Structure 1
Amino acid sequence: MATTNIWQKFKALIPEGSRTIVTITANNGNGTSQAQLRDGTVVAVNGESVEAGQKAFMQGGEVKGTAPELAQYEVEV
């Protein structure tokens, strides 16, 4: 009889790593891009699928796709 680990099933539903929205500042031509985080930090990421000047989803140091241009609001609690 096989046992079922409910915690492992639950963890399988959640993708590994956090997803961050970045602005692509340059495509390097070698399979990597430069991306700027919201705090102004510039990082190198794998992937060139998003053009410079557009927002992208970054997960695990890799460009996952284009992110929508949405308004950003700050709220103090």
Structure 2
Amino acid sequence: MSDLTRHRARYGAQGVFLDQVSTGIEQLGVCEQPAAVVRTLGRGPLVLHHGTAPHAAYAAPADLLVTFEGPWTT
């Protein structure tokens, strides 16, 4: 979370992008804690990058889910 604060101070970022987020319901808890901190600190919007379709429960803590990773032509 200190990285979020430092990055925002240095670059003026208005949101948070979490990369390589798991897709299974078993790992949802790993994502929920940072998401709650992002919300508490007012760091949103929160974007979760899965690269494929995650369990539907991941939509609750996020503002946007990135479910595709590949070339633009695809």
Scaled by the length of structure 1, what TM-score is found? Answer: 0.27
Higher relative contact order (CA 8 A, sep 6+): 2
Comparing both structures, which one devotes a greater share of its residues to helix?
2
Comparing both structures, which one devotes a greater share of its residues to strand?
1
